[in-house]
Structure 1
Amino acid sequence: MDGIGATHIDHIVISSNNSEVVAETFRRNIGIEIRRTMSRPGTGARLAFAKLGDVILEFAGPPEPDPAAEVKARLWGMVLAVADIAAAVERLRGLGYEVTDPRPAVQPGALIATVKSGTGGVPFALIQYNAIPHESPAGAAP
C-alpha cells in the first residue's frame, strides 16, 4: 500500500490568541465569508470557519481572548481527509510516526487522529467522515 489513503485537504487551522479578530481580518482583506462560529465542546475554544474553494479555513483561539494583547496568529497545521482512518494510522505507525488513536471529532460522525512526530514542523491530523454510525432514536423505524 502506498500512501495513507488521503483523499484531499479537508481544512487548514490558523491558531491565534483572538480568533474573532483574525477571522475578521481575513474576511475584510481577502473577501472570504465566515460561515460559522462556535465554541469547541469541552474546551470552550472559539472557532470560526470559512471556505476557500474546497478547503475549509478554521480560525481557532482561546475562549476569552485578552483584548489588550497584541493579536498574533500562526499556521497551526492541516487536516487530511482519509478513506480509512484506522488503516492510515496503522500505516503511519508502521513507518515509525507517533500518531494518536482516532477519537470523535467536532464534526458529527467523524473520527480524527493527530500525527505527533516526523512532520518537519508542520502539524497535521487525519479525519474520516461517516466513521461513527448514526444511531436511530429508540422506537424509530429503520
Structure 2
Amino acid sequence: MISRLDSVVVGVDNLADATADYALMFGAEGVAANVDGRSAHRFGTSNTDLCLVEKQGDRAGMESLVFAVPDIAGALRRLDKVGIDVDSDKNGLIALKREHARNLQFIFCDDVSHSKEVIESPSGDGLTGLDHAVIASGDGDYTASLLSARLQLDMRLDLTNPDWDARLMFFRCGDLIVEVYQPLSKPLAPERDRFFGLSWRADNIDRAHATFTEHGFDISEVRTGRRPGSRVFTVRDRTHGVPTLVLGVD
C-alpha cells in the first residue's frame, strides 16, 4: 500500500532560524512552501523531504510522517477494511485518526516522486538522505501490528538487546527504515507512541563532520555505529526539537 516516505514534517519555534540551520546541514537552500495554511520550508533529499513548518501547540519537533501511496482510493479502501478511520480526505491527503495510529500523525499522499525535483547538497558535504525515522513506543507489539499488518510495511528486524536497553524493530519503507524503539528499563506508557528522532545519511562522514564543525554546530566525535561498517555522530543543537544522528557507511 505504501511506496515510500514522502516527507517528515517538523514544527519549529522560529521558521527563519530553523531554515537557516537546516540549509547549513543540507548544503542546500530548499524552497518556501505552505502546509495547511502555515508558512513552511521544504528541503529535498535523495529519498524524502524535510518540511519545516510553524509549530502547532507548545512543543517543537516532529509532527507527522507523510507516506506516499500509488493509489489513494485503494488506500482508503484498505484503511476501512482494517478498521482505521481518517480525519480528513482533502487536497489529495488522507490523515489517519490519531486514536487509530497510536496517537501519531500519519498522512497519506499521492505518490508523485518521479516528477519532483531533488535538491541535493552540491558539495556532498551535507545530509543527502534519510536513513531512519524513529518512533518511541511503550507497546512494541501493538505498534508493529499497526505498521506491518495494517499499513503493510515490511518488517525486517525485531531485536531485543539488554546491552542497548532496548527492543528495536525495523520496517522497510522505500529505501529507508521506520524504526520502533521500545526502552526496557524505563518503559513508556503503553497506550500511546511518540516520534523520537531522525537518522540522516552523509556520503562522506568525515567531510560532513568537518562541515558541521565549521558551521558551529555542537556535535559529538565520529564513532562506530551499530550497523556493520558504519560510523556516526550526534548533532546536539540547532535541530529544533529533533534528536538527530548522522550516519556514513565506509
TM-score, with length taken from structure 2 = 0.47
Matched, 1:79 2:203: no
Q: Name the structure 1 match of 2:78.
A: none
Consecutive unaligned residues in structure 1, runs of 5 or more: 131-142
Q: Decide which moves more: 39-48 or 49-58.
A: 39-48
Q: Name the structure 1 match of 2:208.
A: 88
Q: CA deviation at 1:66?
A: 5.6
Cα distance between partner residues in 2 of 1:113 and 1:105: 9
**What SS is found at the alignment partner of 1:37?**
strand
Cα distance between partner residues in 1 of 2:187 and 2:211: 42
Q: Name the structure 2 match of 1:129.
A: 249
Q: Tell me which of 165, 173, 194 is aligned to 1:52.
A: 173
Q: CA deviation at 1:64?
A: 5.8
Q: Decide which moves more: 40-49 or 76-85.
A: 40-49
Q: Tell me which of 28, 44, 47 is aligned to 2:149.
A: 28
The 3 A distance-change label for structure 1 pair 17 and 5 is same
Q: Name the structure 1 match of 2:45.
A: none
Q: Name the structure 1 match of 2:184.
A: 63
The amino acid of 1:114's aligned partner reads T
RMSD, aligned α-carbons: 2.4
Matched, 1:11 2:137: no
Q: Name the structure 2 match of 1:133.
A: none
Matched, 1:97 2:221: no
Q: Name the structure 1 match of 2:240.
A: 120
The 3 A distance-change label for structure 1 pair 11 and 70 is closer
Q: How many residues align?
A: 129
Q: Decide which moves more: 80-89 or 2-11.
A: 2-11
Cα distance between partner residues in 1 of 2:223 and 2:139: 26
Cα distance between partner residues in 2 of 1:98 and 1:75: 22
Q: Name the structure 2 match of 1:135.
A: none
Q: Decide which moves more: 90-99 or 56-65.
A: 56-65
Query: Are the counterparts in 1 of residues 137 and 190 from structure 2 also a CA contact under 8 Å?
Result: no
Determine what percentage of the aligned residue pairs are the same residue: 27
Give 1 or 2: higher helix fraction: 2
**What SS is found at the alignment partner of 2:164?**
coil
Cα distance between partner residues in 1 of 2:208 and 2:224: 16
TM-score, with length taken from structure 1 = 0.78
Matched, 1:111 2:216: no
Give 1 or 2: higher strand fraction: 2
Cα distance between partner residues in 2 of 1:50 and 1:113: 23
Q: Which runs of 4+ in 1 moved over 6 A?
A: none
